[in-house]
Amino acid sequence: MKRFKRLIAILPLLLAGCFGSQEGADISAIKATFELPSNAKTLLYQAKPQSIVRENLRILTKFKLSEIEAQRLKEHVKNSPDWQRFPVSSGLLQRMQVDRITQIFDGQLSHPSNHRWYSCRHSGDDILNAKTVVTAATGSKLRDYMFAVIDFDTNTVMVKVRTAY
């Protein structure tokens, strides 16, 4: 019985060692989804829950791009059908069940900018490990989504991940 209790006590540490950093895995998945440079600096990472169990997941991240990375990304974004110029359409906001885009980013988008682009992706389940990520343009309410905003005035990218499963 004593060994069993010891095993139960160290099980979370063993699992953490087996699975590595959840933060690192989340950030890598987000960067890959939006084709962000792998060496973009992470300025902010907030996740709830932070454990392996990811029901009702909420992640807010912010990345800083170098001037060169921002320029490369700007060229890509301008030629990609997956990215749209601001403002975000009211239809998409309704699908995401928010009134204003600032609600998604908890007030992090405070200054006005004429150089912002956004992309909204969604998937049926396990959004951070989805095999197919689709640009959200039309359809029913989005309960699970990844929403990214690139601000070329500040060379930053903010991403909000939300799941309801």
Say what the pLDDT of residue 6 is: 44
Output the CA angle 26-64-127, nearest 5 degrees: 25
Q: Of 85, 78, 74, nearest to 37 (Cα)? A: 74
Identify whether 13 is part of a domain.
no
For residue 110, being part of any structural domain is answered with yes
Residue 11 lies in a domain: no
- From 33, 62, 36, 32, select the one nearest 47 (Cα to Cα): 62
3-class SS of residue 77: helix
Domain interval for residue 57: 22-162
For residue 5, being part of any structural domain is answered with: no
Mean pLDDT for each 10-residue chunk of the chain (165 residues)? 47 48 91 94 90 77 97 95 85 77 65 81 72 62 86 93 81
Q: Is 27 helix (H, G, I), strand (E, B) or coil?
A: helix
Residue 1, domain member (yes or no): no
Residue 42 counted as domain residue: yes
- pTM score > 0.85 for this model? no
Q: Note whether residue 8 is domain-resident.
A: no
Our count of domains for the chain comes to 1
Contact partners, residue 42, CB within 8 Å, separation at least 6: 27, 61, 62, 63
Q: What is the pLDDT of residue 134?
A: 62
In a domain, 80, yes or no: yes
Specify whether the CB–CB gap between 83 and 117 falls below 8 A: yes
